Structures are given as structure tokens and as C-alpha cells.
Amino acid sequence: MSRLDEPAPLADRRDPAEDHEEPDFAAPFSRVKIRVGALVFSGHDVALIRRDRPTGSHYTPPGGNVDHGEHLIDALHRELAEELELAPGDGSAPELCWIQDQMVTRPGPTPPPRKIHMIFRMHITPEVRARLAIVEHDELADGSTELGIIEWVNYRKAGDLPLFPLIGDAISALPAPDAPSKDPLLPPITDQNYTWV
């Protein structure tokens, strides 16, 4: 073996990771979070959470952020149990329908993260629907909670609601609650098409 083929002494070896700069988490959208949400259908109705605020009411599908190291489906089942009291075996298997990228400026002392919304679809029976929660208490950063009202809405009316993420038109365009979704990648949410509420 020639000297050129010999490995460098350990002290002289560079870690390739050192060649990359550390992300600046003080910059907007430098952190990435994943949020899972579910469109839980019972017939033609879909469960949405309505939150009433001084700026107006808005809707969101049940769901939340994925914890560090948590599997996506485990996170989805955890959120559905917390918000709807829906047990994993009480509905059909989650089916990924849409993905939406969010980079929206928001008020507050911390820079906004980039958020990837993964929207799944499930179906439940009327019997399961009858025993689900009708309100949801979302824990806020300061330890208080915000009340959410569980509303069952005909899915064709979703496009008329202030729904976040911006999936209302995609939901209402489905020819039937179990019809295949067309393009799984929805247009991104940016400051040009959304203002933080």
C-alpha cells in the first residue's frame, strides 16, 4: 500500500458533517414540523373542530403535531383519541389523501416553523359517531386550554368554510366520501394566500 492509500490518522480525519453549516433556528421556516390530520367521515358528514376567537371562527380537521421519534400513524391515532375519543380500531385504516406545505408568517417571539400537513381519511359507522366527543380542549403553551366544538359537516360544504389547512376545496371536490383523491400535493400555504388568525 502506498502512502496515498493509507488512511489518515484519526486526529487528522474530518467529520463530513462539519462541512455543513448548522441551521439557524432563529430564521423563519428553518425548523420543520409535521402535522397529521384526519378527515373522519360518517356517511357524507366529516368531523371538523370549530374554534371561536375574537377574529372569527375557523375550522380544522382533528389532528396535531408529530412528536420527536413518533410514527405518523401512531401520532394520528393519539390525536384522534385525545380530540374525538376515537379508538384506533373504531374506524377504517387511515388513508393518506393530501400533503400541504405551509410557510406562513405569524406573530410572536419565536420564528415560525415550516409545517408539512399530512391529511388522512377514515370512515366510521353512525354507532361509533354517536359515542364520540362533542367538544375538545386544546392545551395552549401557557397551560390554559382553548375550547373546540366538534361539528359534523356535509363534506360538500367544506369549501365554503374557513378551514385550515387550506383543504376545503379539495374535500368538497370529491365525487363521493370514499372517492380517490386526485393530486395528493396541494398548493402551498404562504403569506400570499393566507393570513395567520
pLDDT value at position 9? 52
pLDDT value at position 12? 53
Dist CA 153 CA 22 (whole Å): 45
Show the cell assigned to 126. Answer: 353512525
Strands (E), 29-157: 32-42, 45-53, 56-60, 63-65, 95-103, 114-123, 135-139, 145-154
What SS3 state is found at 72? helix
Dist CA 31 CA 23 (whole Å): 8
pLDDT beneath 50: ranges in the chain: 1-4, 8, 10-11
Dist CA 96 CA 120 (whole Å): 4
Dist CA 163 CA 159 (whole Å): 8
Alpha helical stretches, state H, the chain: 72-84, 126-130, 168-172
**Residue 77 dihedral angles phi and psi, to the nearest 5°:** -65, -40
Sorted by where each starts, the structural domains of the chain and their CATH numbers stand as 30-190 (3.90.79.10)
Count each helix (H run) and each strand (E run) in the chain, helices first: 3, 9
pLDDT value at position 182? 86
Dist CA 132 CA 150 (whole Å): 9
pLDDT value at position 2? 44
The one-letter amino acid code at 149 reads: I
pLDDT value at position 148? 95
Dist CA 174 CA 85 (whole Å): 26
Dihedral of alpha carbons 73, 80, 39, 147, sign: negative
pLDDT value at position 27? 87
